[in-house]
Amino acid sequence: MRERVLEALIATSVGPDAFARLHVRPTMAGQVARNIRTRELPTLPAAEVYTGPLHDGLAVATLSPTAREHADRVVIVTSALWGLLRLRDRIPPYRLYLFSRLVGMDRLDHEWRAVLPDVLASAAGPDGLILDLRSPENQSIGKPTGHGHRTVTLRVHQGSPGRRIGDVVAKRVRGEAAHDILESGVDPGGPDELATMLGERWSVSLATSTRRDAPTTLTLFTDD
């Protein structure tokens, strides 16, 4: 699947309709042109390639040595190009939106949805709590098959009534929550224990679905 997506990304990036297919503006022409050379570019650990508010909140570079070692073992990054990655997996930089329509492929999120649920389940292992930090749109590419009962989806809401939190802030807070968990050195045994841990910094609310094998939702309330 990675090979198919990479070939399609290169083919798309040289086409006259590249900006439309990749959902980017012409101001990103340099990054689209860089896609053509993806196979030739130097690589870096995924933790250094990916940026944005969630990764800013996670702040991998500031983790203690013990927490960073733990993060390298347990953190999984979903990627529009590579599928699933560990933080230390080496990749080149690229520009690819999850909902791109690449040459010769259906919409990219639909393609990955046929592959990733089972791979996520394998990566999650047979036991332990799974914390899903992804936004709903990124969750659309798949959740771990058969592990909804041990999955907690993290959401963030503005603590003040009538105010709506920005997506940037929500992502950053989810990253900060993951950072705190990694630094704690504790693997929460269940949603209640996780809520207690994060409740030391944020107001929290747990909601369990009545649907079979559906994840629990843990909401953090912030005044940011």
What helix, strand, coil percent values describe the chain, rounded to 5? 45, 15, 40
pLDDT exceeds 60 at position 5? yes
Query: What is the Cα–Cα distance from 43 to 70, expressed in whole angstroms?
Result: 22
pLDDT exceeds 90 at position 135? no
DSSP 172-195: HHHHHHHHHHHHHT---SSHHHHH
Question: What phi-psi label fits residue 128: left (phi over 0), alpha (psi between -120 and 50 degrees) or beta?
Answer: left
Question: What is the value of pTM for the model shown?
Answer: 0.90
Taking only the tens place, the pLDDT of each residue in 145-202 is 999 989 999 999 876 545 556 788 999 999 999 999 999 999 898 999 999 999 999 9
Taking only the tens place, the pLDDT of each residue in 57-81 is 999 999 999 999 999 999 999 999 9
Q: Which of 94, 76, 72 is CA-nearest to residue 85? A: 76
Are 12 and 22 spatial neighbours (Cβ–Cβ below 8 Å)?
yes
Q: How far is CA 68 from CA 20, 40, 43, 154, in A?
A: 39, 29, 20, 21
Tokens, residue 67: 């927490």
